[in-house]
Amino acid sequence: MLTANLSRSQDKTPTVAGREKPAASPRGEETGTASERAIQAKLDQRADLEFVGAPLSEVVQRLSETHKVQIVLNHRKLQEDANVTGETRVTATGRGLTLGRALRSALQELNVDFVIRNEVLEITSTEDAETYLVIRTYAAADLFDVRPRSDHDQPDFAALEDLVKNAIAPESWRDAGGSGTASFAKGVLVITQSQSNHEIIARFLAKLRQARLQISEAKADARLTPINCEPAAEANARIYEKLGRAISINWSETFLEDCAKQLARELDVPVRLLTAKLADVNVTPETPVTLKLSSVSARGVLNHVASILNAGWIVRDGVLLITSPEEVSSDLTARIYPIPDLIPSEDDVETGAAVDMVINNTVKPDSWKDAGGAGVIIRCDSPASLICLQARPVHEEIENVLANLRKDLASSAEAPRAAPRMPVRVYRLVDAGPAAGRTAAEGAKASTQKPDGGAASDIAKLVKELVAPESWEAPGSKAYVRPLGNRLIVRQSLKAHREIRDLLQKLGSLDDAQPPTGGFF
């Protein structure tokens, strides 16, 4: 659990010196030719694809003619890495998606992808696409205060970098054995990644901004909704809504592919069998299904079929996919869960920490990274949120847990609230005895004497001036700071204690070998 376009392949020619660098934008800017940017613009346009069992070469030709974009097949990589030729059959049924998203979805089952390279759209193997890296820049100055929860202070830009690396394709970064890199330059996030991962990064940063806006505009009684970072989230949501419909089925030794066709007709959604994945569990389109149900939700029907066949189902890119259980558990997407209402105040950081710990320990515990799984949970202080990379069934459980927490909080709203906690802590200051011409023994002796306006008293005055100055003398305040030899005894809020420790460290006055001690009084 975490509490906190130079286009090139591995052997590509370096950037031409003197090329003007494009301005950074939230979407991400890529160095490249005008032709390559025009291709990207085509891929960003909405397009409905409807190919059923068509040869790949025919699909390419029709898309090229319809969308006025040059598309080529990298025959060598397709054959070597994916055993795919121009005659390989392709099924594409994307609705309401961008051309790029629909095409990538159709090719994914074949272990095939595409890249924009050498001024054309190139269909190649997924392996080749993953190693073809491009540099894009993202304006991120407004996200510098995004802070994963950490036991150690760190620059804001490093926190955002860590957040992106942990939430987006974690295994693809150089420090995890991949090739991707991320760094900052004057408020701009500079990332080297595959083109498909850049799409995810741009969407994630946009959703992070959406979470900040939702939290800043939320009223006390406003419902904070999870923010889905997956591709085609709207198209997927429409399918999930239709899965709530009650249907009746009567299948007796009915081929699985015919069952899928009936579901597609009744729900008016595209349904596809991932045959390669189903083969891993000995299921084919001709596998017979016997099931009779009346007035059961389509989701329930799918769950029954999955149980009978030891299979699974997911919704991805606006298509209902029947696949293997392994594919279901590995289909991870990021969601941002705003939780400012579950962290009542900055003084009570442990309340926020408990939320991510509860989820990590109760919602599919074996699925998280610290237990050997692939799921990631990150708690951010700003915006106050949980960021989770998980499979959809796990996301649904997380939503239920958070909903129940909120329900319990609402039911106890009338109960008396505990006053903010004011712990007393003792800070040991660096002894300046030897530096003042005394021996260590003399310095140690001096540090036990009562202060007479010396360094500890001066630091105490500085603390009161710079840390929550209005809180020390406020009516009814129990806060205080008292020098005692080479120590400061402080009673303050948890937030103030963090600021005091930070101040003392910056002054070089805190003895880090002796961490603050204390408790609640």
Q: What is the pLDDT of residue 28?
A: 58
Rg (alpha carbons) of the chain, rounded to whole number: 29
Distances from the Cα of 422 to the Cα of 103, 418, 419, 493, 494, angstroms? 58, 11, 9, 5, 7
Are the CB atoms for 139 and 25 separated by under 8 Å?
yes
Are the CB atoms for 487 and 518 separated by under 8 Å?
no
The gap from C-alpha 380 to its chain's centroid, in whole angstroms, comes to: 11
Distance, CA of 51 to CA of 60 (rounded, Å): 11
Q: What does the chain come to in residues?
A: 521
Q: What is the pLDDT of residue 29?
A: 59
Q: What is the pLDDT of residue 474?
A: 86
DSSP code at position 510: B
Across the chain, which has 521 residues, the per-10-residue mean pLDDT values are 34 33 46 82 87 91 92 96 94 81 88 94 96 92 63 58 87 92 87 94 91 76 79 89 95 96 93 92 96 95 96 92 93 90 58 72 90 88 85 92 84 60 84 45 45 73 92 88 88 88 88 60 43
pTM above 0.85, yes or no: no
Are the CB atoms for 201 and 29 separated by under 8 Å?
no
Q: Where is 185: in which H helix or E strand?
A: strand 181-185
How many C-beta atoms lie closer than 10 Å to residue 343's C-beta? 20
Q: What is the pLDDT of residue 15?
A: 32
Domains present along the chain, CATH in parentheses: 1-14+21-217 (3.55.50.10), 224-416 (3.55.50.30), 423-520 (3.30.70)
Long-range contacts of 396-401 (CB under 8 A, 24+ apart): 397/363, 397/364, 398/335, 398/337, 398/359, 398/363, 399/226, 399/337, 401/358, 401/359, 401/362, 401/363
Q: What is the pLDDT of residue 318?
A: 87
Residue showing tokens 């991962």? 197
Q: Is the dihedral of CA 440, 444, 447, 452 positive or negative?
A: negative
